[in-house]
Amino acid sequence: MGKESLIGKGLWDSYSEKVRKRMNNPTHFGSFTEKDASLRNLKLVDVLHGSEACGDAVELFLLVEENTGKITDAKFKSYGCGTAIAAADIMTELCIGKTVDEAIKITNLDVEAALRDNPDVPAVPGQKMHCSVMAYDVIKKAVASYKGVDIKTYEEAEIVCHCGRITRKTIEDAIRAKGLTTVEQIMEETGAGSYCGSCIKPGGHEPKNVYLTDILEEILKPVKSEKSGPAAEKKFESMTVPQKLKALEKVLDEAVRPSLAADSGGVEIMDIDGDTVFIQYLGACAGCASSGRGTLDFIQATLRDRLSASIIVSPYRD
């Protein structure tokens, strides 16, 4: 069965032609044995790497000239989705002909770029970018195995957005230099979080050591402390409607809309009556079944945590 029969038409159209072809007919699918390596007087490297994000796994087989470190041939087996197969196939192709030291420099961005039909058009939807990350990780594991070293030897500076290879330092520098105050601004300025969205805040498809919300809060906390105090605080209940609207919009921009935007959705405040906030869903959220109770509870819990425990969020009815 072709992969296109398993993927919705709208989503299928967002994959490049190269990805579609390699999903169904990977060029380098297969394996090597120790006997194969011995007959060609080469060293076999065989590693298996799995992704906690989606349960996929890739097994990479490299045949390496020991005196030069050159990868003369490579094959793979993939256990997972079509995007993982396509990413693993092109990653394997990129390795052939390179030395192991050159192969370790191949990143997931190189893998995704090689799958593009048009240099300016992404090869896969943002939420599938993590499949190319898995292809990058299996290269590191293979080279570490070949050289007999710990894979941590090849770990880079702390990466927050693995899809875009965006480091914590890049994000922190952008927040300070540009005076960023919201996650949306970080996403626009650095690109972090604009792929699969799992690095924005806890609750995404893949757990992270640190999230954009954590970094933003850590940097802004000293600023907020300076501005805090009895004179600077005003209870939500005692605010005027315009003040409530401003406070609500700020929380939505910082803690709610980025998560909804990752799934092409959004939310808009339609009315405020006392402590009751009437909202309307936008984009994908408007037609999503989960926008009923689950998303509503998430928005209400966030507003209560940030502003007032008395806030009630209700769907807007014409």
Percent of the chain with pLDDT over 90: 27
pLDDT grade for 159, boundaries at 50, 70 and 90: confident
196 has catalytic annotation: no
Return the pLDDT at 293.
66
Q: How far is CA 105 from CA 189, 238, 255, in A?
A: 25, 57, 35
How far the first Cα of the chain sits from its last, in Å, is 46
Q: What is the pLDDT of residue 3?
A: 47
Q: Could you tell me whether strands 276-283 and 265-273 are parallel, antiparallel, or unpaired per DSSP bridges?
A: antiparallel
* Helix, strand, coil shares, percent, the chain, to 5: 50, 15, 35
- Evaluate whether 265 touches 285 at the Cβ level (below 8 Å): yes
81 has catalytic annotation: no
What's the pTM?
Answer: 0.56
Distance from C-alpha of 192 to C-alpha of 173, rounded to nearest angstrom: 13
Task: Report the pLDDT averaged over residues 61-70.
Answer: 96
- % of the chain with per-residue pLDDT over 70: 84
**CATH number at 234-318:** 3.30.300.130
Q: Check residue 2 and give its pLDDT.
A: 47
The catalytically annotated residue of 131, 161, 163, 285 is 131
Mean pLDDT of 139-159: 82
Cα 299 → chain centroid: 22
Higher pLDDT, 101 or 293: 101
pLDDT tens-digit readout, 224-235: 544 444 443 468
- Architecture label for domain 3-154: Alpha-Beta Complex (3.90)
Characterize the bridge pairing of strands 43-50 and 265-273. unpaired
| Catalytic residue selected from 54, 161, 163, 285 | 54
Q: How confident is the model over 133-155, as a mean pLDDT? A: 84
Q: What's the pLDDT score for residue 232?
A: 39
Domain residue extents for the chain = 3-154, 156-229, 234-318
Give the pLDDT confidence score for residue 158 in this predicted structure.
73
